[in-house]
Amino acid sequence: MTEKTKNNNTLLWILFAVLAVALGALAFMYLNQRSELTELVEQMTIEKEELEEEYQDLAIQFDGYQQMDIRNDSLQDLLSREQQRVQDLLEELRQTKASNARKIAELKKELATVRAVMKDYVRQIDSLNATNARLTVENQQFKEENQQVRSRNEELTQANTQLTETVTRAAMLELTSCQLTTLNKRDKKTRLVGQISKLQFDYTIAKNITCTPGMKHLYVRITDPTGNLLGETTNHLFSFENQEINYTLAQEIEYSGEAYNGTCYWPVETVVEGFYTIDFFCDGNLIGSFPFQIKK
């Protein structure tokens, strides 16, 4: 074999070796990029699922406000339109692939917009309720003034009665908010009806410096969509409006006069879809009532 042939063979083997190394590097880069792409798709899938849950939560909030007696047709129509918008966006999100990052980002921005709109509607509802309450009080005052003209004795009697009622109302606790979270057997948040094993209620009692501080017995009634009381037994009774009525669960809280945040739980075996109601009682008074919905 000539020296030239040997050199050519050596060069050929070197080229083969370089080619093998290059192919190996390309294969490694391909596998690495494929792994990163898989992780990215998994992350986008999780983000999409979380966004769906946020839309579902917002839809439930709209359902709750639709059950309220708003007494304003214009505001009611606006709520209905925004509720339908949430449903349309939720359906659009469900049909969007997890890999479509641009579309998911757009739907996330839409969610923030709808939340801002809903916050404004809630403010209007609160203002409307406050106005209705003020007008109710003013109407009552007008009736009382007419009664005062008829009889000074009745005026004094009504004034004393009103004073007593005002003091009583001022001393009453008021539960201002209640948020439902559905949990599975591992106490993890879930929206799947078949996996719900516990209901978690996070509530807030408003500040009231006129209320006598100390230990308070809080009674909770939860009624299902058919009107049945959950957990009804002959042993679960408390006094309300001169009657003994059943409750679902009870808590003992220490109230200092400042705002109080509490949580209560109720285990469930079978969950029925539909609208529920949770009522809170304390010191013989109904201090809060909230609707909530469980659905797929």
Task: Give the neighbor-by-neighbor strand order of the sheet with 285-294.
Answer: 249-255, 214-223, 274-282, 285-294
Quote the pLDDT of residue 290: 95
186, 100: one domain: no
Q: Verify that 287 and 203 share a domain, yes or no.
A: yes
Residues 27 and 93 occupy one common structural domain:
yes
List the CATH number of the domain containing 257. Answer: 2.60.40.10
Which of 67, 90, 124 represents a domain boundary (last residue)?
Answer: 124
Which DSSP helix (H) or strand (E) runs through 139? helix 101-150
Same domain flag for 88 and 190: no
Report the distance separating Cα 209 and Cα 256, nearest Å: 8
User: Would 133 be classed as within a structural domain?
Assistant: no
Alpha-carbon distances of 15 from 20, 24, 25, rounded to whole Å: 9, 14, 15
Tell whether 118 and 207 lie within a shared domain. Answer: no
pLDDT at 18: 66
What pLDDT is stored for residue 148 in this prediction?
A: 73
DSSP per-residue codes, 37-70: HHHHHHHHHHHHHHHHHHHHHHHHHHHHHHTS--
**Residue the block writes with tokens 């004393």:** 160
Query: Within this chain, do residues 101 and 178 fall inside the same structural domain, yes or no?
Result: no
Same structural domain for residues 10 and 70?
A: yes
Is residue 196 domain-shared with residue 96, that is, in the same domain?
no
Q: How far is CA 36 from CA 49, 100, 157, 206, in A?
A: 20, 16, 80, 50
Is 108 in the same domain as 221?
no
Check whether residue 17 and residue 117 sit in a common domain.
yes
Does residue 156 form part of some domain?
A: no
The domain of 51 spans 3-124
Residues 120 and 177 in one domain: no
Q: Is residue 287 part of a domain?
A: yes
Residue 118 and residue 177 in one domain: no
Number of folded domains that form the chain: 2
pTM recorded for the entire structure: 0.45
Going from the C-alpha of 86 to that of each of 90, 95, 100, 269, the distances in angstroms are 6, 14, 20, 30
User: Is 163 among the domain residues?
Assistant: no
Looking at residue 163, what is its pLDDT?
Answer: 40
Per the domain annotation, does 101 fall within a domain? yes
Mean pLDDT in each 10-residue stretch from start to end of the chain (296 residues)? 63 66 58 51 68 73 65 66 72 71 75 72 66 67 70 53 48 91 94 93 94 93 94 91 94 94 94 94 94 90
Kindly state whether residue 138 falls inside one of the protein's structural domains: no
pLDDT of residue 69: 60
Q: Is residue 141 part of a domain?
A: no
- Examine residue 165 and state whether it is found in any structural domain, yes or no: no
Residue indicated by tokens 């070796």: 17
Residues 260, 216: Cα–Cα separation, whole Å = 12
